[in-house]
């Protein structure tokens, strides 16, 4: 038999490597704020042993898991606790997503509908009566403000303003911009193009881009997530064949496509995974190899506090962004203690989760208020909404900070040498 | 508990294994006044140390038609009367490339002869039905095997015996059999907790002490030719398989893999051992290797699945009376009427058989006892559900631990306090044991220590083997200061008992877990510094 | 990515080394595969509690000089000095401790044992002399229904030493809310509830109602998860002397230590690679050039020196499988005790288990070996070092911190 006897312990998501040490429960942001959630150990490896016996041991309260993966980061024994919980939801949940959940989950569909009407949609979504309707009818919490929908999608801007110039570069990357950049905050995409172009890289969109699906997974629509994931993978394969690395500016999209596709959705991404990278990581690696150089404005001064987004933490990539930011001479860097902000994508938008969501993030908000930075830097867009709403401090993606600090002319010259 | 009416029993049953418990139940249901005595805890011996397999009988079909017939009949009965102890998993008999596929047709024929529904299925279908099965199989037969929890089954029999008026004493050891004029009139008992001895008298004494029955017989001055056969097994950390997997060949070592509760069990070996070693069975490294090597042939993933424990039981095999050499050993049920056999009235021995034929064994020996006592009431154990096995009314929203408890206690789960925060607090997280369940076990199920509690509730049977729950449970169970010292000693004994089963398989995550547990219990708590004696159970697995 | 020193392992040992190096001005990275065994600690740090004959140690410094030659302390140049440095390292991280290396005091274990120890976190219940208890009447005040604080054992333990003990309990609506979760009524969640809801004053009221007439109130250590501020605050607000006793894990004082040490390391400019594992070393001759991790595919972490502080089996610093014991991160040599797996352990759980003494091979400067060759720039520190049984000796924190500091000294030389 090929299997070697007892040289390794193999179980789905490593659930049987659990030593029952309970460390995960210390770092679960949810169980600290609600008694209704059984906690990561019980919902994860403990429950899994019994679910293998009988599916009656599945409990719908598992939907309270934020999927922040902080339990996995804390686990000393590499148990994929968050994956166990999400996989159990996918496998056993009989809960049907509501209209609200579908609306929140289909970030790209809603974005497509809202963008052309942005001048109308944005004020309307902010009106009290509208919020009351969303709150009571849809179950979207009234405290939430939908991120503004941009009246010009990033894709439209790109095709018109940027695409024609990209072929002049000798090196190229593809850009998975994600829903947020496309519908809500095209500026980040523009910053991305600015930075990449300055270091001599042409930027291209994928042939077809779908929402990465993170919100669909969270809202129990894994089949649709899988379909969208397959589309993304096949677009990326084409880009990779052309020698492109696929860059993103969102840690959550990156994490979903690299890890959740395989672990939760059963999408085979092994040939694509390593070519998906976060832009900060890509830049850092090139700088380290001496292939590119960033030149910064002398007059740039900013006190920046970095927040480690959950999925960034899970990917283990925080140091790429932080070391990159710390290269900016005028940047005063403060590292925030790593904590979940509580929004977790669409989770915090649901009225039943609002209070929990704010309670989870409280520690982080207090820290930010204490530090009083000019801005908070983070690699995740939903953290941005949550932190801005809860602290009033502006939040920027590291790429936007780089773009702002960058001496474009000098950088172009440096990289032409 | 100690208010035993010493003089007035119709029957004393010796041995708190499944046979003794079943016999006590049957006797009590026939209206006899019964005392059940057990020197340690219920199901300490072979009852608690087997596969937990509810044989369909298929395993014996080719070699032992009688056993096969008994098995399938009892199998169908237990599904009805012990519903909460049985999980209807079904079983497969697989043929591997190294096996003779021709055996399969003989096997199916013999199964059918014995009344066992054996259905040849396509190997591909077998792979779908049971994804853990060795994919190289070339043949598969589906049979009505199931798994059964012997701890629960024994306890349910004890509870029913008590409901029918029986007395039961645990930690009471028979230290002498009282004989007057060629008649056994009772037994001398020692309370193993305090050492006190006293006599209990009865018209009939039934020796149902398993392999230790040979020692009981000796005390009565008669000889039973028993051959202790050690069978070792391994418990894995979770269920690899959901159907029982057997090898379709003549019975051999390590050819059955049973899904039991949240784990699965591979076994067994079979080796003759001296009777003196039966109180402290240890699994040898060679046995572990053999079990693993053979187990991986049934389900290759066992090679990469965490092993929690190794344990061994002793089958009470009996040589037929006409063959003192012991060569012809019966694997069937042996009922000895010592009056006929040895001229010693008042003593019956029930032995041999299998865990799952306990009810039939009990019926046979109870029939004999009734005959001698002139009682004509017929046996009703085959049709009367055991306590806990009555049909369940559907409960809508219950918690994880309540579901787990319902699985363990059947309808008796209604007696487990719950619904308030104190009772619902979890003691054992791996197995979902609540404070309410611990209290229920302590008040209703003869729980004197943590090991008893484990047998009733699965406390400490999860993958961590008592890492935090043992201390919590001990805290819930202990009373006054004196109780605290006893509980600390108990805790120390319990941790050692858990280690005994872990030690033969201490590598990988199991070793890491053991180190963590030692760090907590010894390094942080200092249990080893406070414990001043080990309880009786120290010698048990 | 390039650093001066890379530490592998983020427990007490790794963080001690990381902080000491960062304090010395080095650019340090630390790769940590999950949280550490600090979470199972009791709020005290042991240096040497029992000698090799099993006798209680009064003066660890004296007893250390009598240890056998394999003990990791034998590779420490000046135990007394480094013990002082260790205490300072903790202090600068915001972890105030009491205790001295030349005489043990006794910590009160959650089940009422008195165990010899070196440093105790401020506020923890300790006894100077195990023979004379400093308290006459103790109120043992638990949170209602908190099972991880075994009050009956603790009370019995103290009563056996002549202390009068009453067991009390209090609750608050916020804690009642937490009680509704059968699994999550744990020390750290209680701490979070108390801290997020600012319950200190309320708790002090509850305790003060109970505390009259006692000369000591003992509470479960369920306060101060991120700093000692709240735990200190409560003790001040209680009218009679009050202290904390450790609970079953997870340990709040342990989590606090972990948090504060990490904070200190980051504040000193250290880079923390969280939840990642070193899976391979890039060796050139007798030098380790860089390490690869599970998550930073494509990036090698390079440094002049490395410290391996990944712990023992329970932290996966060592792995035992069916056939052998090995060090999984870099494949360095493991102390060969000539054992096959059947002799790794002994039958009685309280016997001295041989596996506890396994560790990586090091030279007199704590440098690791690979295939028999000493690696010039790779040092081992903490529980991954063999040659002693930390559970029998009660010396784990001392070994963790002192070997880390010694490795740092060796690197800085």
**What tens digit of pLDDT does each residue of C247-263 get?**
999 999 999 999 999 99
Asked if the C-beta of A331 comes within 8 angstroms of chain C's C-beta atoms, the answer is no
Asked if the C-beta of C14 comes within 8 angstroms of chain A's C-beta atoms, the answer is no
The reply to whether residue C263 touches residue A337, judged by beta carbons under 8 angstroms, is: yes
In a domain, B390, yes or no: no
Q: Which of A47, A66, A92 is the last residue of a domain?
A: A92
Nearest-by-CA chain C residue for A360: C196
In a domain, C118, yes or no: no
Q: What is the pLDDT of residue B537?
A: 44
B244 and B306 share one domain: yes
Count of domains for chain C? 2
Q: What is the pLDDT of residues A241-267, one digit of tens each?
A: 999 999 999 999 999 999 999 999 999
B304 and B424 share one domain: no
Q: What is the pLDDT of residue A149?
A: 74
C228 and C162 share one domain: yes
* DSSP string across C125-193: -EES-TTS-S-SEEEEEEETT-TTS-HHHHHHHHHTTT-EEEEEEE--HHHHHHHTSTTT--HHHHHHH
C136 and C42 share one domain: no
In a domain, B75, yes or no: no
Q: Which of B294, B312, B330 is the last residue of a domain?
A: B312
Compute, in degrees rounded to 10, the torsion defined by CA atoms B313, B318, B323, B324: 70
B298 burial type by CB count under 10 A (0-12 exposed, 13-18 middle, 19+ buried): buried
Q: What is the pLDDT of residue B2?
A: 44
Residue C277: pLDDT above 50? Answer: yes
Q: What is the pLDDT of residue B464?
A: 87
- What gap in Å lies between CA B370 and CA C22, rounded to an integer? 85
C263 and C367 share one domain: yes
| 3 state SS of C49 | coil
Q: What is the pLDDT of residue B534?
A: 60
Residue C170: both structure tokens together = 């209090």
- Helix ranges (DSSP H) in B317-468: 338-342, 358-373, 400-409, 421-424, 435-444, 450-457
Q: What is the pLDDT of residue B323?
A: 60
Q: Are A248 and A278 in contact (CB under 8 A)?
A: yes
Q: What is the pLDDT of residues A299-328, one digit of tens each?
A: 999 999 999 999 999 999 999 999 999 999
Q: Are A85 and A30 in contact (CB under 8 A)?
A: no
Q: Are A225 and A236 in contact (CB under 8 A)?
A: no
The phi and psi torsions of B232 (rounded to 5 degrees) equal -105, 150
The reply to whether residue A5 touches residue B259, judged by beta carbons under 8 angstroms, is: no
Q: Between chain A and chain C, how many beta carbons pairs sit less than 8 Å apart?
A: 126
In a domain, B289, yes or no: yes
Which of C264, C271, C268, C325 lies closest to C301 in space, CA to CA?
C271
Residue C173: pLDDT above 70? Answer: yes
B517 and B424 share one domain: yes
The number of C-alpha atoms within 13 Å of A101 and in the hemisphere containing its C-beta is 16
Suggest the residue from C12, C34, C258, C340 to mutate for an interface test with chain A (most A CBs closer than 10 A). Answer: C34
C232 and C269 share one domain: no
| Facing A42 at nearest CB: one of C33, C183, C323 | C183
Q: Which of A92, A117, A136 is the last residue of a domain?
A: A92
Q: Which residue did the predictor score with more confidence, A128 or B234?
A: B234
C331 and C358 share one domain: yes
In a domain, B4, yes or no: no
Q: How far is CA B410 from CA A49, B85, B428, B434, in A?
A: 20, 8, 19, 16
Chain A interface with B: residues with Cβ < 8 Å: 1, 3-11, 15-22, 38, 41-42, 46-50, 52-54, 56-57, 59, 77
In a domain, A163, yes or no: no
Q: Which of A74, A92, A110 is the last residue of a domain?
A: A92
B142 and B191 share one domain: no
Distance separating the N- and C-terminal Cα atoms of chain A: 58
Nearest-by-CA chain C residue for B478: C152
Residue B327: pLDDT above 60? Answer: no
Residues in B 370-399 with any Cβ partner in C closer than 8 A: 399
B349 and B460 share one domain: no
In the structure, what pLDDT confidence band is assigned to residue C42 with cuts at 50, 70 and 90?
Answer: confident
In a domain, A330, yes or no: yes
In a domain, C262, yes or no: yes
| 3 state SS of B253 | coil
In the structure, what pLDDT confidence band is assigned to residue B480 with cuts at 50, 70 and 90?
Answer: confident
C263 lies in which domain range? Answer: 2-97+256-412
Q: Are B2 and B361 in contact (CB under 8 A)?
A: no
In the structure, what pLDDT confidence band is assigned to residue B309 with cuts at 50, 70 and 90?
Answer: very high
| Facing C249 at nearest CB: one of A22, A39, A285 | A22
**CATH label of the domain that carries residue B121:** 3.30.9.10
Which of B249, B257, B263 lies closest to B291 in space, CA to CA?
B257
Q: Which of C245, C279, C302 is the last residue of a domain?
A: C245
In the structure, what pLDDT confidence band is assigned to residue A36 with cuts at 50, 70 and 90?
Answer: confident
- What gap in Å lies between CA C38 and CA C45, rounded to an integer? 10
Residue C256: both structure tokens together = 């606090």
Q: What is the pLDDT of residues C304-356, one digit of tens each?
A: 999 999 999 999 999 999 988 999 999 999 987 666 888 899 999 999 999 99
In a domain, C380, yes or no: yes
Report the range of poorest mean pLDDT among B428-442, C339-353, C380-394.
Answer: C339-353
Q: Which of B329, B357, B373 is the last residue of a domain?
A: B373
C192 and C284 share one domain: no
Q: Are A348 and A357 in contact (CB under 8 A)?
A: yes
In a domain, A133, yes or no: no
C206 and C68 share one domain: no
In a domain, C204, yes or no: yes
Q: Mean pLDDT over residues B401-417, rounded?
A: 91
| Facing B304 at nearest CB: one of A9, A42, A59 | A9
In a domain, A120, yes or no: no
In a domain, A266, yes or no: no
Q: Which of B355, B373, B391 is the last residue of a domain?
A: B373
Q: What per-residue string of b and e applies to B511-528 under the rule 16 or more CB within 10 Å gives b?
A: bbbbbbbbbbbbbbbbbb
C262 and C405 share one domain: yes
Q: What is the pLDDT of residues B441-472, one digit of tens each?
A: 999 999 989 999 999 999 999 888 998 999 99
B135 burial type by CB count under 10 A (0-12 exposed, 13-18 middle, 19+ buried): exposed
A328 lies in which domain range? Answer: 302-408
Residue B539: pLDDT above 50? Answer: no
**CATH label of the domain that carries residue A335:** 3.40.50
B106 lies in which domain range? Answer: 56-61+84-148+229-312
The reply to whether residue C152 touches residue B478, judged by beta carbons under 8 angstroms, is: yes
| 3 state SS of C24 | coil
Angle made by CA atoms A245, A248, A249, in degrees to the nearest 5: 145
Q: What is the pLDDT of residues B348-367, one digit of tens each?
A: 999 999 999 999 999 999 99
Q: Are C278 and C293 in contact (CB under 8 A)?
A: yes
Q: Are C119 and C253 in contact (CB under 8 A)?
A: no
In a domain, A343, yes or no: yes
Radius of gyration for chain C, computed over Cα atoms and rounded to the nearest angstrom: 22
In the structure, what pLDDT confidence band is assigned to residue A118 with cuts at 50, 70 and 90?
Answer: low
DSSP annotation of B90 = -
**CATH label of the domain that carries residue C30:** 3.50.50.60
- Within 8 A by CB and 6+ apart from C242, the residues are C207, C211, C216, C217, C218, C219, C234, C235
- What gap in Å lies between CA A371 and CA C197, rounded to an integer? 22
**CATH label of the domain that carries residue A55:** 1.10.1060.10
B452 and B534 share one domain: yes
Q: What is the pLDDT of residue B319?
A: 77
C225 and C287 share one domain: no
- Within 8 A by CB and 6+ apart from B499, the residues are B514, C348, C349
Count of domains for chain B? 3
What is the average pLDDT score of chain B?
92
Residue B398: pLDDT above 90? Answer: no
- What gap in Å lies between CA B505 and CA B308, rounded to an integer? 7
- What gap in Å lies between CA C175 and CA C194, rounded to an integer? 8
Q: How far is CA B482 from CA B474, B495, C136, C152, C158, in A?
A: 13, 20, 20, 10, 13
Which of A262, A213, A253 lies closest to A87 in space, CA to CA?
A262
Q: What per-residue string of b and e applies to A115-148 under the rule 16 or more CB within 10 Å gives b?
A: beebeebbeebeeeeebeebbeebbbbebbebbb
In a domain, A88, yes or no: yes
* This prediction's pTM: 0.94
Which of B65, B314, B16, B289 lies closest to B171 in space, CA to CA?
B16
B395 CA: distance to closest CA in chain C (Å): 19
In a domain, A101, yes or no: no
B408 and B498 share one domain: yes
B171 and B135 share one domain: no
Contacts of A73 in chain C (CB under 8 A): 34, 274-275
- What gap in Å lies between CA B313 and CA A270, rounded to an integer? 48
Nearest-by-CA chain A residue for C188: A26
- Identify the residue whose tokens are 């990642």: C276
Percent of chain A with pLDDT over 70: 91
Q: Mean pLDDT over residues A183-188, rounded?
A: 93
C361 and C395 share one domain: yes
Residue B38: pLDDT above 60? Answer: yes
C165 and C129 share one domain: yes
Q: Mean pLDDT over residues A18-31, rounded?
A: 93
C13 and C81 share one domain: yes
**CATH label of the domain that carries residue C156:** 3.40.50
- Identify the residue whose tokens are 């000491």: C20
Q: Which of C245, C270, C287 is the last residue of a domain?
A: C245
The reply to whether residue B425 touches residue C314, judged by beta carbons under 8 angstroms, is: no
Radius of gyration for chain A, computed over Cα atoms and rounded to the nearest angstrom: 21
Count of domains for chain A? 2
């Amino acid at each position: 038999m090929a299997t070697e006897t007892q040289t390794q312990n193999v179980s789905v998501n490593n659930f049987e490597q659990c030593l029952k040490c309970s460390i995960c429960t210390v770092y679960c942001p949810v169980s600290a704020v609600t008694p209704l959630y059984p906690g990561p150990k019980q919902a994860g490896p403990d429950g899994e042993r019994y679910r293998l016996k009988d599916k009656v041991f599945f409990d719908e309260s598992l939907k309270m898991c934020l999927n922040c993966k902080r339990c996995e980061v804390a686990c000393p024994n590499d148990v994929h606790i968050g994956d166990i919980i999400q996989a159990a939801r996918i496998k056993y949940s009989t809960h049907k997503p509501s209209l609200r959940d579908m609306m929140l989950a289909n970030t790209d569909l809603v974005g497509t509908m809202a963008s052309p009407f942005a001048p109308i949609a944005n004020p309307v979504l902010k009106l009290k009566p509208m919020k009351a309707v969303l709150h009571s009818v849809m179950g979207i919490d009234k405290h939430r403000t939908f991120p503004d929908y941009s009246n010009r999608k990033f894709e439209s801007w790109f095709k018109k303003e940027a695409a024609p110039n990209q072929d002049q570069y000798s090196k190229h990357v593809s850009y998975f911009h994600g829903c947020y950049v496309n519908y809500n905050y095209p500026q980040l995409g523009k910053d991305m193009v600015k930075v990449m172009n300055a270091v001599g890289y042409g930027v291209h969109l994928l042939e077809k881009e779908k929402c990465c699906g993170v919100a669909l997974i969270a809202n129990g629509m894994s089949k649709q997530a899988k379909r969208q994931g397959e589309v993304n993978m096949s677009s990326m394969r084409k880009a990779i064949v052309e020698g492109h690395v696929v860059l993103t500016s969102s840690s959550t999209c990156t994490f979903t496509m690299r890890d959740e596709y395989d672990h939760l959705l059963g999408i085979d991404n092994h040939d694509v995974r390593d070519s998906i990278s976060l832009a900060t990581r890509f830049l850092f690696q090139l700088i380290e190899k001496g292939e590119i150089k960033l030149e910064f404005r002398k007059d740039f001064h900013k006190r920046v506090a970095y927040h480690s987004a959950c999925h960034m933490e899970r990917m283990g990539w925080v140091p790429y962004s932080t070391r990159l930011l710390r290269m900016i001479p005028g940047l005063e860097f403060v590292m925030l203690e790593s904590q979940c902000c509580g929004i977790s994508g669409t989770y915090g938008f649901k009225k039943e989760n609002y209070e929990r969501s704010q309670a989870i993030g409280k520690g982080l908000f207090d820290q930010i208020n204490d530090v009083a930075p000019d801005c908070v830097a983070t690699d995740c867009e939903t953290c941005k909404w949550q932190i801005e709403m809860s602290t009033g401090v502006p939040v920027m993606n590291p790429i936007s900070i780089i773009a702002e600090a960058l001496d474009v002319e000098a950088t172009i010259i440096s990289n032409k040498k | 508990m100690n208010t035993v009416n010493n003089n007035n029993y119709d029957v004393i049953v010796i041995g708190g294994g499944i046979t003794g418990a079943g016999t006590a139940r049957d006797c009590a249901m026939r209206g006899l006044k019964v005392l059940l005595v057990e020197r340690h805890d219920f199901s300490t011996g072979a009852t608690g140390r087997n596969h937990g397999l509810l044989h369909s009988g298929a395993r014996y079909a080719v070699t032992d038609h009688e056993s096969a017939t008994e098995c399938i009949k009892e199998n169908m009965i237990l599904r009805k009367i012990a519903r909460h102890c049985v999980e209807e998993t079904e079983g497969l008999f697989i043929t591997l490339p190294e096996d003779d596929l021709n055996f399969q047709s003989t096997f199916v024929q013999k199964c059918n002869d014995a009344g066992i529904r054996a259905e040849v299925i396509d190997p591909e279908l077998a792979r779908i039905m049971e994804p853990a099965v060795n994919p190289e199989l070339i043949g598969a037969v589906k049979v009505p095997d199931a798994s059964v929890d012997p701890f629960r089954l024994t306890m349910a029999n004890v509870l029913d015996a008590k409901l029918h008026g029986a007395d039961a004493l645990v930690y009471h050891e028979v230290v002498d059999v009282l004989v007057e004029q060629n008649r056994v009139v009772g037994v001398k008992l020692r309370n193993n907790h305090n050492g006190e001895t006293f006599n209990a008298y009865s018209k009939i004494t039934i020796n149902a002490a398993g392999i230790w029955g040979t020692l009981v017989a000796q005390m009565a001055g008669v000889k039973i030719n028993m051959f202790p056969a050690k069978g070792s097994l391994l418990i894995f950390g979770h269920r690899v398989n959901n159907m029982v997997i057997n090898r379709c060949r003549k019975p051999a070592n390590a050819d059955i893999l049973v899904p039991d509760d949240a784990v699965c069990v591979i076994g067994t070996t079979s080796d003759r051992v001296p009777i003196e070693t039966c109180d402290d069975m240890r699994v040898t490294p060679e046995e572990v290797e053999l079990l693993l090597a053979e187990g991986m042939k049934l389900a290759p993933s066992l090679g990469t699945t965490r092993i929690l424990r190794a344990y061994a039981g002793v089958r009470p095999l009996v040589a037929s009376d006409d063959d003192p050499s012991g060569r012809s050993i019966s694997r069937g049920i042996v009922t000895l009427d010592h009056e006929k056999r040895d001229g010693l009235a008042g003593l019956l021995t029930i032995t041999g058989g299998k865990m799952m034929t306990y009810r039939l064994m009990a019926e046979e020996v109870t029939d004999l006892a009734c005959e001698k006592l002139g009682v004509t009431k017929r046996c009703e154990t085959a049709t009367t559900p055991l306590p806990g096995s009555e049909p369940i009314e559907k409960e809508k929203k219950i918690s994880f631990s309540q579901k787990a408890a319902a699985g363990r206690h059947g309808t008796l789960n209604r007696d487990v306090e719950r619904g308030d925060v104190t009772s619902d607090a979890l003691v054992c997280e791996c197995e979902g044991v609540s404070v309410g369940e611990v209290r229920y076990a302590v008040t209703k199920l003869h729980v004197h220590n943590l090991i008893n509690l484990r047998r009733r509730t699965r406390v400490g049977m999860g993958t961590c083997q008592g890492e935090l729950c043992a201390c919590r449970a001990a805290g819930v169970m202990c009373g006054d200061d004196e109780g605290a010292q006893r509980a600390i000693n108990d805790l120390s004994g319990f941790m050692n008992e858990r280690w005994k089963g872990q030690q033969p398989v201490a590598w990988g995550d199991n070793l890491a877990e053991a180190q963590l547990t030692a760090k907590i219990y010894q390094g942080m708590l200092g249990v080893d510094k406070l414990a001043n004696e080990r309880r009786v159970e120290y010698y048990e697995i | 990515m390039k650093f001066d020193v890379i530490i592998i392992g983020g427990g007490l040992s790794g963080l001690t080394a990381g902080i000491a190096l960062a304090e010395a001005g080095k650019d340090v990275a630390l790769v940590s595969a999950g949280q550490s065994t600090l979470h199972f600690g009791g709020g005290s740090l042991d240096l040497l509690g029992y000698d090799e004959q099993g006798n209680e140690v009064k003066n660890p410094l004296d007893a250390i000089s009598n240890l056998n030659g394999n003990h990791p302390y034998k590779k420490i140049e000046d135990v007394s000095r480094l013990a002082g440095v260790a205490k300072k390292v903790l202090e600068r991280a915001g972890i105030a401790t009491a205790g001295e290396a030349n005489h043990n005091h006794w910590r009160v274990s959650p089940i009422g044992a008195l165990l010899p120890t070196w440093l105790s976190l401020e506020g923890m219940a300790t006894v100077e002399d195990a023979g004379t208890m400093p308290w006459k009447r103790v109120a043992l005040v638990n949170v209602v229904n908190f099972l991880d604080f075994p009050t009956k054992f603790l009370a019995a333990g103290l009563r056996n030493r002549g202390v009068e003990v009453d067991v009390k309990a209090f609750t608050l609506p916020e804690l009642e809310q937490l009680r509704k979760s059968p699994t999550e009524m744990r020390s750290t969640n209680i701490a979070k509830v108390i801290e997020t809801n600012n319950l200190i004053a309320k708790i002090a009221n509850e305790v003060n109602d109970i505390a009259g007439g006692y000369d000591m109130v003992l509470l479960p250590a369920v306060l101060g998860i991120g700093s000692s501020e709240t735990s200190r605050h409560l003790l001040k607000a209680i009218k009679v002397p009050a202290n904390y006793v450790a609970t079953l894990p997870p340990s709040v004082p342990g989590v606090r230590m972990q948090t504060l040490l990490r904070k200190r390391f980051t504040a000193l400019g250290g880079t923390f690679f969280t939840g990642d594992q070193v899976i391979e070393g890039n060796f050139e001759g007798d030098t380790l050039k860089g390490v690869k991790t599970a998550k930073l595919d494509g990036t090698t972490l390079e440094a002049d020196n490395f410290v391996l502080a990944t712990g023992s089996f329970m932290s996966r610093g060592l792995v035992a499988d069916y056939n052998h014991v090995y060090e999984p991160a870099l494949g360095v040599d493991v102390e060969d005790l000539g054992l096959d797996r059947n002799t790794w352990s002994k039958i009685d759980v309280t016997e001295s288990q041989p596996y506890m003494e396994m560790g990586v091979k090091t030279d007199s400067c704590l440098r690791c070996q690979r295939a028999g060759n000493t690696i010039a720039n790779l040092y081992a520190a903490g529980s991954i070092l063999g040659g002693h049984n930390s559970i029998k000796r009660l010396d784990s924190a001392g070994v963790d911190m002192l070997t880390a500091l010694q490795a740092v000294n060796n690197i800085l030389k």
